[in-house]
Chain A
Amino acid sequence: TMLRRMTRLLSGARQLDPGRFLHRGSPAPQSLDAHLDDQRPRAVSCTSEDDPVKTFNEACLMVRKPALELLHYLKNTNFAHPAVRYVLYGEKGTGKTLSLCHVVHFCAKQDWLILHIPDAHLWVKNCRGLLQSSYNKQRFDQPVEASIWLKNFKTANERFLSQIKVQEKYVWNKRESTEKGSPLGAVVEQGLTRVRNATDAVGIVLKELKNQSCLGAFHLLVAVDGVNALWGRTSLKREDKSLIAPEELALVCSLRKMVRNDWHGGAIVLTLSQTGSLFKPRKAYLPQELLGKEGFDALDPFIPILVSNYNPKEFESCIQYYLENKWLQHEKAHTEEGKKELLFLSDANPGQLERLCAYL
């Protein structure tokens, strides 16, 4: 049986303290399909709606089967075993990113430490400032992307930054260094103030979290959207116009190490995405096609979870949500004819339905 719960986030942003979320849990019976909502969380670049909080004064999620499955697995994780990798895959616009956000929100409420990369494709294309890494001469640094990520990480996990202590001494340059035993917040601050060292700060944060999650003080959730960017090709070039492979980017290297399952005490949830990917055909959605041989071998073994289009019930409830919020303003949208037409035009694809209802 499917348990459908309503989650209304009145504050809208997941980055705020999880304790502030209003959780209205009331299991609805199987036949009722009216209590499902749609969320578009703020910092995610996937959906077309700019800011749901501005339009609806709230941000809601539709609870769907893939997300429920994942939550079930996460609730029963054995933290002594190595971290299990879950890969959400599906066609374009079916709701992979939002399922990921649902899982992240759940874990945030359960007080896990969230390591969320909203879109890995942003790290392998259109980067302006590429510096040669001081730590490893062959690699390249990305100060802009690293500092953005550090800022988001800081707002998401404020509480943990003072609790977790660094286990080694790190020397940034001649004058600055972080002592052993100082809180992780100091490393993050250093990365934010000295933008040149931001990438190294990110690498250090990831390494420390990986080592310390085995100790059991906290549960670690690694959530990466568009993970196929880590093993594809980049569109970045050096000064002499030669292409850079993803291995030569420091951020990508540290993230790859994170996604390997040689640590325990948490879980890894990944999403494949064709929308931002480089040099991949539009119709590709299977893990083998999007990850390539290298990525598939690196991620093997993993648990694949297919995210598909809406059922008739989910579709109906989506339309009901729009009608309740008066988003569907057209007079004919209430009628049976209108609904049948929307179903036909969108083929129950969530993304397409959203784009259709935007102007109706």
Chain B
Amino acid sequence: MAAPAVKAAGGWPILALSLRSGVRRLPGLTQVRWSRYGPEYKDPRIDKEYYRKPLAELTEEEKYEQELRKTQLIKAAPAAKTSSVFEDPVISKFTNMMMKGGNKVLARSLMMQTLEAVKRKQFEKYHAASAEEQATIERNPYVIFHQALQNCEPVIGLVPILRGGHFYQVPVPLADRRRRFLAMKWMIKECREKKHRRMLMPEKLSHELLEAFHNQGPVIKKKHDMHKMAEANRALAHYRWW
């Protein structure tokens, strides 16, 4: 679990032992976003292959781990995580980011329609193209999706740092997960804001994904803008202390 948010509140006592997550408990601060699980709970392992290995193939560590898990407390697996072969963590994350108001059904159906639209467009191009070009056209929507998001990830980002009463935009190397998050965020924002009123999200998203796959389009431009700003502000790089 990530560090839970801690809010300053007047003298609210920390409740029963099982409610804390074992991170900074300062006096006078209470946890706002916490999980009901204590630190003794382990994360579930949702992996069919892991459990299907016969006893002979297990290494010492794995045997020990399996024995341990028999008596340990394990958290409940989230409903969205399945042991299906077709599951993709990136697609799940993207779907969650597209979701509004907890409407996962709608978000998932939009995602599926987007993948279908991407597939159909690529099939049309495939049939219209000549034999040499057919070898280059990629028809797998998942490959296109992953490649497009990878192309949209910025390498370097800007962080506002307070110095002498002013906030300066300092160029900073980004962690992997921040980069992935930014790519997905830009993609969704672009598709939500810059589309025609009557155009549907799957259509626009599929168009943007295909453009990003070919390193064109507004999301790639945004990434380049971010890089240019970082380059322009490189004199401020000394303000970074980590």
Q: A interface vs B, CB < 8 Å? A: 50, 54-57, 326-327, 329-333, 335, 337-338, 341, 358-360
Contacts and interface: CB of A to CB of B under 8 A. Distances in A.
A341 B140 contact: no
Contacts of B123: 54-56
A341 B124 contact: no
Contacts of A326: 139
A48 to B, nearest CB: 9
Interface string B135-151: 00001111000000000
B227 interface: no
A56 B120 CA distance: 10
Which of A331, A358, A359 gathers most chain B CB within 10 Å? Answer: A359
B120 A338 contact: no
B222 interface: no
A330 B140 contact: yes
A299 to B, nearest CB: 37
Given A57-B127, A329-B139, A341 B85 contact: yes
What is the predominant secondary structure among interface residues of chain B facing chain A?
Answer: helix
Interface of B: 84-86, 112-113, 115-116, 119-120, 123-124, 127, 139-142
Given A55-B120, A55-B123, A359-B116, A341 B84 contact: yes
B124 A54 contact: yes
A329 B140 contact: yes
Contacts of A337: 85
Contacts of B142: 329-330
B85 A338 contact: yes
Contact of B119 (A54, A329, A338, A341): A329
Given A330-B142, A338-B86, A358 B116 contact: yes
Contact of A329 (B85, B112, B141): B141
Contacts of A329: 119, 139-142
Contacts of A358: 112, 116, 119
A360 B86 contact: yes
Closest 6 CB pairs of A and B: A329-B140, A332-B85, A359-B115, A359-B112, A358-B116, A359-B116
A360 B85 CA distance: 11
A357 to B, nearest CB: 10
A34 B236 CA distance: 66
Contacts of A338: 85-86
B126 to A, nearest CB: 9
Given A54-B124, A326-B139, A329-B142, A359 B119 contact: yes
